[in-house]
Amino acid sequence: MGIEYRLTLAGDIPSEALAARAMPERADRPAGIPGGPPALLGAALYESHGFYLTIVPTDRASVAAVDDDDELRMWDIGRNSMVSFDMDKFDSDEDTARAIVAMLSTVRRVLESGTEDAALTLNGDWLLLNRIDGVVRRFNRTRWWAHHDVDDLIEG
């Protein structure tokens, strides 16, 4: 079983534009998935980043995740885009750290290059951060951020 981090962004964002924000290097950008709808983009970046990156716009989504107080936070949004980072279980802590740093660096690029409300979740259960009205708030578990030694990657 793998691990999925998902960044959900409110609004109608063209997939190609979001891909360019997420991955400025053209070689790393997700492309259309054969047989999939045109707006669904994906890229196997396991060697370079440690994850499979998927970008998909949807007409409606709900984000439900637990915050620091074990309270369920619900966010029901209309048009949105989801950026998913699918990771395998890693054999070493070094591989895990590399993938998490690469994922959070991508999340930071996306957040810094736009103003959309956003939420980052882990396995659809834990809320790691959100941005509402331009304010980024990190959640879950300060111990998650400290455990992975990524306290300084995203301010919040």
pLDDT digits (tens, 9 = 90+) for 27-82: 999 998 877 787 899 999 999 999 999 999 999 988 888 777 777 878 889 999 99
Residue 103 backbone phi and psi in degrees, to 5: -65, -50
Residues in the chain: 156
Given a contact cutoff of 8 angstroms between Cβ atoms, the answer to whether 59 and 79 are in contact is: yes
* 3-147 under CATH 3.30.310, yes or no: yes
Tokens 């070493």 correspond to what residue?
92
Query: Three-class SS of residue 25?
Result: coil
Given a contact cutoff of 8 angstroms between Cβ atoms, the answer to whether 47 and 28 are in contact is: no
Residue 86 backbone phi and psi in degrees, to 5: -100, 120
Tokens 């591989």 correspond to what residue?
95
**Integer Cα distance of 50 and 129 in angstroms:** 21
- Over the chain, what is the mean pLDDT? 89
What integer pLDDT is reported at residue 141 of this predicted model? 61
pLDDT category at 140 given cuts 50, 70, 90 is low
Going by C-alpha positions, the residue among 101, 97, 87, 78 that lies closest to residue 8 is 78
